[in-house]
Amino acid sequence: MNALRKLTVIESKLFLREPIGAFFGVAFPAVLVLVLGSAIPGFTDPSEDNGGRRPIDIYLPIVLALAIATVTMVTLLGVLSAYREKGVLRRLSTTPVSPMALLAAQLIVNVGALLIGSGLACVGAVVAFDVAAPENVGGLVVAFVLGSAAMCAVALLIAAVTPSARASSGLGTLVYFPMMFAAGVWTPGPIMPDAVRRVADFTPLGAASQAMQDAWAGSWPRPLHLVVMGGLTAAFGALAARSFRWE
C-alpha cells in the first residue's frame, strides 16, 4: 500500500505536467458545456423535438460519457502503451514494486481526473444554465461507474493486443469516434434513428450514455444497459488480463 501511494503521487505529478492531457481530463468537459450553452443558438431553449426539454438538459449526461471516452481512450491508453514500449513496466518487474501496482496507480489517477472533470461540468451546467440536478443520483452513479469500468477494460485490451504506442493510438482513435457517435455526441439518443439506437445500446459508451440520461431524468437505468456494461467489463477485462504483456 505504501508503494501504491507513492506511485499514485508520482503519476499524479506526471499527469499534471502534461498540460494537454490534464486539460482534456479535467477541464474539457466543463469548457465544452459552457461553450455549447453560450455559443449554439437555441441550446438553452425548450425544444418540441426533445419533449419540451432544453438540448443542454439532454446533453449533459452525454458530456459525461464523452469525458469517460477521452480519459480512457486517450490519456490512460496512451500512457500504458508508452510505458510498455519504453520498457518502464519491464524495469519495474525487477524491483519490489510490481507493474500491477503501476497499473493500479494509473487507474486511480485517471479515474480521479475523470471524477473531478465530470463534477466541474455538472457544477458549471447547474450554475451557468440552471440545469436541474439529477433526479436519480444513485442510478447516475451506478451508470457512471459501470461505464467507466467498461471503457477502462476496452483501453486495457487495446494496450494488451497492440505492439507499439503508435499502433495503440491508431486503434484507440478508430474506437474512440464510433464510441462517441454511439454515446450521442453528434446525435443525442432521443433523436437517434431507432436502428442506430438499438446498435448503440450494445456498446459500452452508448449504454452508459443512455443509462445516465435515464437516471438524470429520474428513471432507473434499464437492465439491458446495466447488463451490457457489466458484461463487457468482465469480457474485455478477462481478455486484457490474458493478453497483456509487460514488455
The confidence score (pLDDT) of residue 145 equals 92
The confidence score (pLDDT) of residue 174 equals 92
3-state SS, the chain, equals CHHHHHHHHHHHHHHHHCHHHHHHHHHHHHHHHHHHHHHCCCCCCCCHHHCCCCHHHHHHHHHHHHHHHHHHHHHHHHHHHHHHHCCHHHHHCCCCCCHHHHHHHHHHHHHHHHHHHHHHHHHHHHHHHCCCCCCCHHHHHHHHHHHHHHHHHHHHHHHHHCCCHHHHHHHHHHHHHHHHHHHCCCCCHHHCCHHHHHHHCCCHHHHHHHHHHHHHCCCCCCHHHHHHHHHHHHHHHHHHHHHCCCC
The confidence score (pLDDT) of residue 42 equals 76
pLDDT class for 229, splitting at 50, 70, 90? very high
| 112-129: burial string, b at 16+ Cβ within 10 Å, e else | bbbebbbebbbebbeeeb
pLDDT in tens, 80-124: 888 888 888 888 777 777 777 888 888 889 888 988 998 899 888
Residue type present at position 138 = G
CA distance 240 to 115: 24
Which phi-psi region, left, alpha or beta, contains residue 119 (left: φ > 0; alpha: ψ -120 to 50)?
alpha
Q: How much is the average pLDDT of 33-37?
A: 86
Q: How much is the average pLDDT of 61-68?
A: 90
CA distance 221 to 32: 25
The residue among 53, 59, 44, 28 whose CA lies nearest residue 209 is 59
pTM to 2 decimals?
0.87
pLDDT class for 44, splitting at 50, 70, 90? confident
Q: How much is the average pLDDT of 166-194?
A: 83
pLDDT in tens, 135-167: 899 999 999 999 999 999 999 899 888 888 889
Q: How much is the average pLDDT of 161-175?
A: 89
The residue among 236, 185, 176 whose CA lies nearest residue 209 is 185
CA distance 155 to 149: 10
The confidence score (pLDDT) of residue 51 equals 67
Average pLDDT, the chain: 86
Q: Is pLDDT of 188 > 90? A: no
The confidence score (pLDDT) of residue 209 equals 92
The confidence score (pLDDT) of residue 82 equals 87
The confidence score (pLDDT) of residue 189 equals 63
Q: What percent of the chain has pLDDT over 90?
A: 26
| 165-185: burial string, b at 16+ Cβ within 10 Å, e else | beebbebbeebbeebbbbbbb
Q: Is pLDDT of 178 > 80? A: yes
CA distance 112 to 102: 15
Q: Is pLDDT of 16 > 80? A: yes
Query: Which sequence spans correspond to the domains of the chain?
Result: 2-243
Q: How much is the average pLDDT of 46-61?
A: 78
Q: Report the alpha-carbon angle 216-221-227, nearest 5.
A: 145
Q: Is pLDDT of 17 > 70? A: yes
